[in-house]
């Protein structure tokens, strides 16, 4: 009995040691995964610069005690086919901490963790094909370019100085088809997009974008009707209405990013237009009946040449032009996000 009991004690100790070793290995595996996740997220901030991205990943690993465990070089992938890397994939490898090393050859396993992070654009965040005038001296972080939530803004008028089809910012191309698609679809046709030689806009400067005259009237009404339907349920008559409706599932799609610009181009001119940044507006309504552009939107009995109008959502997204990374997509107005994808 004593021999059997001693054997059982030894067996239980072995089992306990193996369980502890496995637990420690799993802990190290989790820690290694956390380390490599954070390293690729740090590196992805610098994409498409592969050298800077790997350097930042290595720096993060070194600063957090994982410098010797990060396997380099990391792997880079061009996911969009534009010739620039937009994904970084790295590996962390280390020996696990063990209670009893090489016990019965259990636990002598290398801990390996891989992760990839990508620089991607939020497809649903594309800019609307209109614009609102702003005051350059009143921009973020202290202001909103002079925009106020109690004022009704006309995004698009029949006056060609706006100019006509402002989606027309050379964002989605030129002409009726591109203009309608820029309204009907979250990102329009994806044709052309304020191409910049230098995608970085210096702090305090505006983004210059070529404008193009285009089509309005029936095209505007048809496109908005195709996207939002014929119901007037989501129409807003006050700012409070707009805020409340923007928080509902049925009407939230009416909240759009619209460029804030310094001035309209000269009448009949195709630009360029200086963009201060982007802000969120709610489409209160639009002119649904011909002749288009003859609506009194503020109730003063005077026609406002209005095609589309709405309210500035002060609690919505307000972004300075120079805080947007331009040039890595056909639509530089779509906000960029860094995400773990593997």
pLDDT recorded at residue 131: 83
Q: Mean pLDDT score of the chain, rounded to an integer?
A: 75
Q: What are the DSSP calls for 149-193, one per residue?
A: TTSEEEEEES-TTS-SSGGGTTTS-SSHHHHHHHHHSTTTT----
Please list the residues that pair with 70 across neighbouring strands.
92
Whether pLDDT at 149 is above 80: yes
283 contact partners, CB below 8 Å, separation of at least 6: 155, 224, 228, 254, 256, 308, 309, 310
Q: Give the mean model confidence (pLDDT) for residues 274-300.
A: 86
pLDDT recorded at residue 228: 92
Whether pLDDT at 315 is above 60: yes
Distance CA 124, CA 194 (A): 18
Buried b (16+ CB within 10 A) or exposed e, 318-335: bbbbbebbbbbbbbbbbb
* Higher pLDDT among residues 205 and 236, named by residue: 236
Confidence category of residue 156, pLDDT binned at 50, 70, 90? confident
Confidence category of residue 259, pLDDT binned at 50, 70, 90? confident
Task: Assess contact for 176 and 192: CB atoms under 8 A.
Answer: no
pLDDT recorded at residue 266: 64
pLDDT recorded at residue 52: 92
Whether pLDDT at 163 is above 50: no
Distance CA 336, CA 121 (A): 4
pLDDT recorded at residue 220: 83
* Higher pLDDT among residues 11 and 18, named by residue: 11
pLDDT recorded at residue 28: 75
| pLDDT, tens digit (0-9, with 9 covering 90-100), for 98-107 | 554 455 454 4
Confidence category of residue 166, pLDDT binned at 50, 70, 90? very low
231 contact partners, CB below 8 Å, separation of at least 6: none
Distance CA 191, CA 187 (A): 10
Whether pLDDT at 120 is above 60: yes
130 contact partners, CB below 8 Å, separation of at least 6: 155, 156, 162, 166, 167, 258, 259, 308
Buried b (16+ CB within 10 A) or exposed e, 12-45: eeeeebbeebeebbeebbebbbebbbbbbbbbbe
């Amino acid at each position: 009995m004593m021999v059997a009991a001693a054997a059982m004690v030894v067996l239980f100790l072995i089992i306990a040691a193996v369980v502890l070793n496995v637990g420690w290995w799993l802990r190290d595996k989790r820690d290694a995964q956390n380390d490599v996740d954070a390293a690729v997220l740090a590196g992805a901030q610098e994409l498409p610069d592969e050298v800077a991205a790997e350097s930042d990943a290595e720096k993060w690993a070194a600063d957090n005690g994982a410098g010797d465990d990060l396997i380099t070089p990391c792997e880079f992938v061009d996911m969009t086919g534009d010739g620039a890397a937009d994904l970084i994939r790295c590996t962390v490898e280390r020996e696990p901490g063990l209670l009893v090393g090489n016990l019965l050859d259990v636990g002598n396993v290398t801990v390996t963790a891989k992760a990839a992070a990508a620089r991607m654009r939020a497809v649903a965040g594309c800019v609307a094909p209109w614009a609102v005038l702003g005051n350059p001296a009143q921009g973020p972080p202290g202001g909103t370019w002079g925009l106020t939530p109690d004022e009704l803004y006309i995004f698009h008028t029949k006056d060609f100085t706006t100019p006509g089809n402002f989606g027309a910012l050379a964002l989605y191309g030129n002409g009726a088809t591109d203009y309608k698609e820029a309204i009907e679809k979250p990102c329009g046709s994806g044709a052309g997009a304020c191409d910049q030689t230098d995608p970085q806009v210096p702090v305090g400067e505006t983004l210059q974008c070529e404008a193009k005259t285009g089509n309005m009237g029936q095209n505007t009404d048809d496109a908005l009707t195709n996207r939002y339907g014929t119901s007037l349920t989501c129409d807003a008559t006050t700012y409070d209405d707009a805020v409340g409706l923007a928080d509902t599932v049925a009407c939230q799609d009416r909240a759009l990013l619209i460029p804030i610009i310094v001035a309209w181009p000269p009448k009949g001119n195709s630009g360029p237009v200086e963009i201060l940044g982007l802000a969120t507006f709610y489409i209160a309504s639009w002119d649904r009946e011909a002749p288009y552009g003859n609506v009194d939107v503020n109730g003063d009995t005077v026609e406002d040449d209005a095609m589309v109008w709405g309210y500035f959502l002060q609690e919505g997204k307000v972004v300075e032009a120079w805080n947007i990374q331009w040039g890595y997509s056909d639509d530089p107005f779509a906000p960029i996000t860094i995400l773990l994808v593997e």
